[in-house]
Amino acid sequence: MSFRTAGPFPPLILDDVRGAQKMLSGVARTTGMEGSRHLSSLVGAPVHLKCENLQRTGSFKLRGAYVRIAGLSPVERAAGVVAASAGNHAQGVALASSLLGVRSTVFMPVGAPLPKVAATREYGAEVRLQGHVVDETLAAAQEYAEQTGAVFIHPFDHPDIIAGQGTVGLEILEQCPEVRTVVVGIGGGGLAAGIAVAVKALRPDVKVVGVQAAGAAAFPPSLSAGHPVALDSVQTMADGIKVGRPGDLTFPLVQELVDEVRTVSEDELSSALLLCLERAKMVVEPAGASPVAALLSDPKAFRGPVVAVLSGGNVDPLLMQRILTHGMVAAGRYLSLRLRLTDRPGALAAMLATLSVADANVLDIQHVRTDPRLGLTEAEVELHLETKGPEHCDEVAAALRTAGYLVRS
């Protein structure tokens, strides 16, 4: 069975993905499949996590990069390769090139996280920091390719890249033959298209669901228009799927083979990342958590057994700290409120005692006496509390009101 691709390339077929799987033997790991009791209880059917966050270089990107570079001619290999990426693709190209003995140059944005820059260099690439946004970095890499003759390795829009990513789909069918739904994040579409080619060729009854961040959802308008549509702007914490336009090759494959594309909010992404960390003990980047976010947002919409692809785990520690805080807020684990009390000795201690009885942990407190809106004997306290969830937030606020405090959020 073959599926159409755009441009000068021949149709992508199952044999291409199987050939990529043979090529990747001993190179890419066959990543594990972990069950999730919590997600299974929400969905009402078994949910399994395909752990590409544990792949070499921390994401699925090694698969496509290796297949693409391995397919170059000796002359092309001698010229070297060049890529542009803020992280995962950069590391995949760097390691694949080193394994194949090919010189690689990777352009990364000036503000790229230092751990990702260091990892790309350690995998053997020459890293050049250029451009403040990915589009500028991409233009610099393409200009370098034109000037030097190096082969530009596109992050998603090439048949070899798509075939390499499609090996994830073959593994899913081998590891979970009873699967009925595969949920996968979509940026440019390489991973989703590759998985869909493999899955639909062997199991056309399996539903493939793509997930995009709402702030970078280029596929819904493109699917409505019938052709790739570029977004005016993209804004999401999920760097791995922060792509403003579908690929010319990936779009028709997604259009033909992916059954549905859903979007998730930033709150849903951060909540999903927090769930992966707390419940599954998995460090996952926001893009990798997007399938889990889709399951959390509408669990009854998915026919099980479900496989959610955790596509990557490369997240900067500083960003992780911010995302976890955001996730705690989204999950109702933090409560911020203001209240007024009588400005007298022991008043603050009494209020804190009320919070202690309510089992709320004080993270931060500000005590204001000089606001002109306050009465002569009044003080205002702004509190930031750690709670056990939305119900506990309500209980804490109720306890303060019962104790006689005027509480304002």
Which residue in the block uniquely carries the two structure tokens 């008043």?
347
Catalytic one of 61, 116, 207, 242? 61
- Positive or negative, the CA dihedral 83, 87, 89, 94 is positive
CA–CA gap between residue 390 and residue 21 (Å, rounded): 46
Is 316 in contact with 373 (CB distance < 8 Å)? Answer: no
First to last CA, the chain: 59
The answer to whether residue 297 is catalytic is: no
**Alpha-helical regions (H) of 55-185:** 61-70, 74-79, 88-100, 114-122, 134-148, 159-175
Q: Is 207 marked active-site?
A: no
Catalytic residue among 40, 97, 222, 311: 311
Q: For residue 21, give the nearest of 201, 233, 164, 216 by alpha carbon.
A: 164
Return the closest-CA partner of residue 68 out of 96, 89, 27: 96
DSSP letters along 203-228, please?
Answer: -TTSEEEEEEEGGG--HHHHHHHTS-
Contact assessment for residue 59 and residue 288, using Cβ atoms and an 8 Å cutoff:
yes
CA distance 30 to 331: 33
Count other C-beta atoms under 10 Å from residue 226's C-beta. 10
Token duo for residue 229 = 């549509």
Whether the CB-CB separation of 325 and 247 falls below 8 Å is answered with no
Residue 392 phi/psi, 5-degree rounding, is -65, -35
**What phi and psi, each to the nearest 5 degrees, are found at residue 340?**
-110, 145
Instruction: Give the catalytic positions in this structure.
Output: 61, 311
